[in-house]
Amino acid sequence: MTSLKQSETSTSAKSIAEAALARARRRTLALTECLTDEELTAQHSPLMSPLVWDLAHIGNQEELWLVRRAGGRPALRPDLDALYDAFRHPRANRPALPLLAPDPARDYVREVRVRALEVLEGADFDPDGDPLLAHGFVFGMLAQHEQQHDETMLATHQLRAGPAVLDAPEPPAAPPDAAGLPREVLVAAGPFEMGTDTDGWALDNERPAHTVEVAAYWLDTVPVTNAAYLEFIADGGYDRDECWTPEGRRHRDEAGLRAPLFWWRDGDTWLRRRFGRTEPVPPDEPVVHVCWYEADAYARWAGRRLPSEAEWEKAARHDPAEGRSRRYPWGDAEPTPEHANLGQRHLRPAPAGAYPAGAAPSGARQLLGDVWEWTDSDFTAYPGFAAFPYREYSEVFFGPGHKVLRGGAFGVDEVVARGTFRNWDLPIRRQIFAGFRTARDAAPGEAG
């Protein structure tokens, strides 16, 4: 009976892994097949790789980890390893490399996937066996890797000039109660469990689970909207030095920051460019394409601050009634279209207050999906951190140079979107789909 149960569990886990890999590949192909070969090989911004580099890099990582390491099979194209090593070649330099042309790149990723699925069929997911294969971790890691590159490719689509080539239905409207939501929610003081020891596909920087004591604080119920950010602009927020850190002022002046990326003013109307379309800035959407310095300046202007990473996760996961941390804000059930704006289902954030079914126990909404949310925290290791399966995924980025983002944007797939997932980037980055919400300390009489 035990062996049968283990076999059934392994079969189910393999089906989940295969579905995650297939979903990522459908998205990869959709993001590349809509463009000409010329556009695939062009560099649309020095911040980004040519899309054909991302395509072949996805295949190379899959070959390295699924075919060679997990499967123990011979290399298909060992000559490509150095060419598609992200640490060896900065993005700005990649167009000069002898990259695979689009058709050979497609052939390569297709051939690798055939081999990877053969390895999956015979893999042993025993949780007490090879840590790389336990719970199908390495297959989940590669599905997440591909989806992360898909999000990067989506950002490249946003940066490219030319007519729109992507389309998607509009996100749902905000429900009737959105207008009456409180400005902020109170999160009571006390400990909670941050991180995870139990999620089989969680990455090394999400581990281990550990108890964190958090003082009482207030958190915005929804992310900061375009309308609210326009008030900051209208009040001279970009010129008010007292709102900016010294580093922020320096970057603001050097980069000429005056509004979120892709925004411009036409008379009394603010416009934005979104995936090849020009449209008025929608006031009720969460603001997106702001860097950490802009988010921090807004928070200071509003008399508030950015939440710490621990505050964000407690608001998103802690269930005080059950005294435990959930996998998602709404519970442990997998995300559905009623919970959050994920998976490139839509090509924009939903209006603030949307997705009441996805609300956290704290009452905050849209903590997963819509926009990545900047926090005030540097990207550092949790106590007891151990790099796995390689240092370059997380450890080399630890330190004060990178800020943590949480939550996941509309272009993030459900395989990545969980309450423990940690994203990070340089505080100057604006091409990513990042917004924010603000917080403030609770006064003694407010702490409950």
Average pLDDT, the chain: 96
DSSP for 348-393, please give it: SPPPTT--GGG--TTS---SSSSSEEEEEEEE-PPTT----S-TTT
Per-residue confidence (pLDDT) for residue 11, from 0 to 100: 73
CB 182 within 8 A of CB 360: no
Amino acid type, 176:
P
Per-residue confidence (pLDDT) for residue 9, from 0 to 100: 62
Q: For residues 154 and 174, what is the distance between their CA atoms, to the nearest angstrom? A: 25
CB atoms within 10 A of CB 95: 15
Segments in the chain below pLDDT 70: 1-10, 448
Per-residue confidence (pLDDT) for residue 446, from 0 to 100: 84
Per-residue confidence (pLDDT) for residue 448, from 0 to 100: 58
Q: 102-122 and 2-33 are packed helices; what angle lies between their axes, rounded to 10 degrees? A: 170
Q: For residues 76 and 110, what is the distance between their CA atoms, to the nearest angstrom? A: 12
pLDDT tens per residue, range 417-434 = 999 999 999 999 999 999
DSSP for 72-132, please give it: -PPPS-GGGTTTT-TTTS-GGGGGGS-PPPHHHHHHHHHHHHHHHHHHHHH----TTS-TT
SS3 50: coil
* Residue 312 parent element (H or E): helix 309-317
Give the residue from 184, 168, 252 showing the smallest Cα distance to 223. Answer: 184
Longest dimension (CA), the chain: 73
Amino acid type, 342:
L
